[in-house]
Chains A and B, each alone.
Chain A
Amino acid sequence: MAAQEKFDVFDWLNHHLLSCPFKAHFGIDCPGCGLQRSVLTLLKGNLLESFKFYPATIPLILLIIFTAVHLRVDFKFGAQLIKLMFIGIAVIILINYIYKISSHQLIN
């Protein structure tokens, strides 16, 4: 029963994802598309699938957790590390989007 209920939760979430306005209007993915699906697969515990949907999810979640800890504990190099992680994530997102465009995943 418990497993069935859990499955139903994911199923419900799958059907109630916020649809991207750009994708709804133009049929083209935006740089953030895939994030929600990726988080969902990560919640199911599937790291590889999550990475395939959106490679920046795992670093992004790590960054958010680290920021929450840093705002309480105040690490000495916390701000510097946040900046570096953020730049890294931005680069991952850019590369991912350029790869999507070049491999014709956007328009099909």
Chain B
Amino acid sequence: MSEEQGTPQENPIEPIRNDIPAAEPVQTPPVTPPPFQQPPPFGQFGNGMGQQNLPNATIALVLGILSIPACCCYGLGLVFGIVAWVLAGKDIKQYNLNPSAYSLSSLKNTRAGKICGIIGVILSALYIIALVAMIIAFGWAALRDPELMKELLREKGLQ
């Protein structure tokens, strides 16, 4: 039954299809100049392709990660961490101003860079705080002189 009903319906469709190509050349000319420069409406094409990457996404991520290996090298880790944090913060602000212009993957990288930078800064800061606490507890001279340090530690019963 269904096959018998299907065949008569196909025949009336075909003439309609033949009519469409005649109308198409009229529609195409206004489509050819596409509005590439116009930003899409707010939040509409959030995951779309062909968007710009945030300018400092890669640098922020790399510096954020390097902030830990560089932790002990003359305070470089602190510098790397702060730079990554600031750059990523700038980029996230830029993204929030115009979310549709930048790709989501670069935003994720930037956020990861920011978090890595913050952790690197926290680690460096913890170490500097510990160092300052040691200087306060034992004095500058003791830290520069291992023998004096040992005596101080024996007095305090730490070793």
Q: B-side interface residues toward A, CB under 8 Å?
A: 58, 61-62, 64-65, 68-74, 77, 105, 108-109, 111-112, 115-116, 119, 122-123, 126-127, 131, 134, 143-144, 146, 149-150, 153, 158-159
State in angstroms the CA–CA spacing of A64 and B65 once bound together: 8
Binds B, one of A8-16, A40-48, A86-94: A86-94
Q: A67-B62, A79-B109, A82-B112 are in contact. Are A28 and B77 (CB under 8 A)?
A: no
Contacting residues, chain B, for A6 (C-beta < 8 A): none
CA distance A25 to B108 in the complex (A): 40
A79 and B112 form a contact (CB under 8 A): yes
Question: Do residues B119 and A33 form an inter-chain contact, with CB atoms below 8 A?
Answer: no
| A-B residue pairs in contact (CB < 8 Å), sample of 8 | A26-B131, A27-B144, A71-B62, A78-B109, A82-B112, A89-B68, A94-B126, A107-B150
A27 to B135, CA, bound (A): 12
Residues of chain B within 8 A of A97, CB atoms compared = 127
Q: A26-B143, A60-B69 are in contact. List 5 more A-B contacts (CB 8 A).
A: A21-B73, A28-B134, A32-B68, A79-B111, A86-B115
Interface residues of A in 61-108 (CB under 8 A from B): 63-64, 67, 71, 74, 78-80, 82-83, 86-87, 89-90, 93-94, 97, 104, 107-108
Main secondary structure on chain B at its contact with chain A? helix
Q: Are A107 and B123 in contact (CB under 8 A)?
A: no
Q: Tell me if A58 is interfacial: C-beta within 8 Å of chain B.
A: no
Q: Which of A35, A90, A104 is the one whose CB lies under 8 Å from B119?
A: A90
- List A contacts of B108 (CB < 8 A): 78-80
Chain A: interface residue total (CB-CB under 8 A): 35
Least Cβ distance of A31 to chain B in Å? 5
> By the criterion CB–CB under 8 Å, are A25 and B112 in contact?
no
How many angstroms between the C-alpha atoms of A94 and B122 in the bound complex?
11
Given contacts A79-B112, A83-B112, A86-B65, contact A22 B119 (CB under 8 A): no
Contact between chains at A82 and B123 (CB < 8 Å): no
State how many angstroms separate the Cβ of B158 from the closest Cβ of chain A. 8
Q: Which residues of B contact A104 (CB under 8 A)?
A: 158-159
CB-CB under 8 A from A82, the residues of chain B are 61, 65, 112, 116
CA distance A79 to B110 in the complex (A): 9
A103 vs B4: C-alpha distance in the bound complex, in angstroms? 89
Say whether B159 contacts A107, CB under 8 Å: yes
